[in-house]
């Protein structure tokens, strides 16, 4: 081997070694949860007090694009309950005014009904109807409806049968 070819091979090897080794970038430790001293965090409801301010990347993703004037962010605006055009927030438990007469009419079909579940056994509808008619239907008739998870809804036509099943029955 000549001296020229060995120098060429060593340069290639050095080049390969240099490319294959991982280059580590050094910098100061950065805590992403702590804002930088010169960064000003802006509350989206209050807006910026003066010109352009630096905002963290997280805040830039969470705030809507465009100028933040008081009318731009509906979450920050106070709700005026007197204004009929303004949308009210979702209420999971709305209040529905109902008269006493309407309430009694709605409850009437359920006044003589029971929800029944047989514990520790699975019972089919036919057996349940047969057994309840034998034990509970003394004066009137009963209507048994099969519900989910082995529950049965039992409607009584006679209030005395309902009271007997509720107070004295099994």
Question: Per-residue pLDDT tens for 83-103?
Answer: 666 677 888 888 889 999 999
pLDDT band at 113 (very low <50, low <70, confident <90, very high): very high
For domain 101-167, say whether CATH 3.20.20 is its number. Answer: no
Long-range contacts of 62-70 (CB under 8 A, 24+ apart): 68/42, 68/44
Tens digit of pLDDT for each residue in 2-47? Answer: 566 677 678 888 887 777 766 665 555 556 566 556 555 556 555 5
pLDDT in tens, 70-80: 455 555 556 66
Cβ count near 163 (within 10 Å): 13
Positive or negative, the CA dihedral 160, 105, 115, 144 is positive
What is the spatial distance between Cα 152 and Cα 124, in angstroms, rounded to a whole number? 10
Give the H/E segment covering residue 11: helix 3-20
Q: Where are the domains of the chain?
A: 30-74, 101-167
Residue 60 pLDDT level (bands cut at 50, 70, 90): confident
- pTM metric for this prediction: 0.44
For residue 5, give both structure tokens.
């070819």
Q: Which residue has the higher pLDDT, 110 or 29?
A: 110
Give pLDDT, residue 4.
Answer: 61
For residues 146 and 51, the model is more confident at: 146
């Amino acid at each position: 081997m000549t001296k020229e070819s060995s120098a060429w091979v060593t340069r290639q090897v050095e080049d390969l070694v240099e490319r294959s080794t991982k280059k580590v970038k050094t910098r100061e430790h950065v805590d992403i949860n702590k804002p930088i001293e010169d960064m000003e965090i802006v509350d989206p409801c209050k807006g910026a007090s003066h010109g352009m301010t630096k905002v963290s990347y997280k805040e830039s993703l969470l705030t809507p694009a465009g100028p933040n004037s008081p009318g731009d962010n509906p979450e920050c605006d106070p709700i005026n309950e007197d204004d009929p055009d303004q949308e009210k927030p979702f209420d999971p438990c709305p209040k529905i005014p109902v008269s006493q007469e309407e309430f009694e009419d709605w409850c009437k079909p359920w006044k003589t009904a029971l929800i029944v579940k047989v514990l520790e056994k699975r019972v089919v509808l036919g057996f349940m109807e047969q057994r309840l008619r034998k034990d509970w239907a003394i004066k009137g008739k009963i209507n048994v409806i099969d519900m989910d998870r082995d529950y049965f809804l039992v409607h009584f036509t006679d209030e005395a049968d309902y009271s007997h099943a509720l107070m004295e029955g099994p």
